[in-house]
Amino acid sequence: MTLHIRLANIGDLEALIRLDTVAAHDDHRAAQIKGWIDDRFCHVVHVDGEPAAYGVLHHHFFDAGFIEMLMVGEKFRRHGLGLKLIAHLQSICDRPKLFTSTNRSNQAMQSLLKRAGFRESGHIDNLDEGDPELVFFWPEEQQPRTGPGVTTPAAE
């Protein structure tokens, strides 16, 4: 399995919409993906040349890094791509703090974030009725940052 992670470009848009389980029935999500690509926040994972996952890293959350979206295509789940994509986003985050969030009901994402070294940092009520958003923080001292463009053995 050959894995390559890079900044997404407009040529990736249709493939990312197809692999996103929400965008298939939500035009707003498709527009968000395009905006993330246009703003250069979206990173795509290719497995053997095929788009398999994407992640969005921006700095709009109190000027800290924030992973707004992490989506792994259904046929590529449970193969470690989410963890590798998070490690990539951690390595390129140029802020001293990195946050992300997920719904309390999303146990798989919570488990993934904990494996990636994130710690729970609080919650936000009233976004999704009856399903609070859990906020997670990654303490950068926990893992060395490798910097953009550095390939690690896990990403090869």
Architecture of domain 3-155: 3-Layer(aba) Sandwich (3.40)
Give the pLDDT band of residue 81 (cuts 50, 70, 90).
Answer: very high
How far apart CA 24 and CA 30 sit, in angstroms, is 8
Q: Which of 122, 121, 117 is nearest to 141 (CA)?
A: 117
DSSP H stretches of helix in 45-141: 81-92, 107-115
How far apart CA 65 and CA 138 sit, in angstroms, is 10
CB within 8 Å of 115: residues ≥ 6 apart: 83
The domain limits of the chain are 3-155
pTM of the model: 0.87
Determine the residue type at 56.
V
Burial of residue 29 (number of CB atoms within 10 Å: 0-12, 13-18, 19+): middle
Tokens of 36: 């993330």
At 66, which helix (H) or strand (E)? strand 64-72
Give the pLDDT band of residue 1 (cuts 50, 70, 90).
Answer: confident
Tokens of 103: 């719904």
Tell me what the pLDDT averaged over the chain comes to. 90
What mean pLDDT is predicted for residues 10-32?
95
How far apart CA 47 and CA 62 sit, in angstroms, is 34
Which residue's structure tokens are 């692999």?
19
Q: What is the pLDDT of residues 127-148, one digit of tens each?
A: 999 999 999 999 876 544 444 4
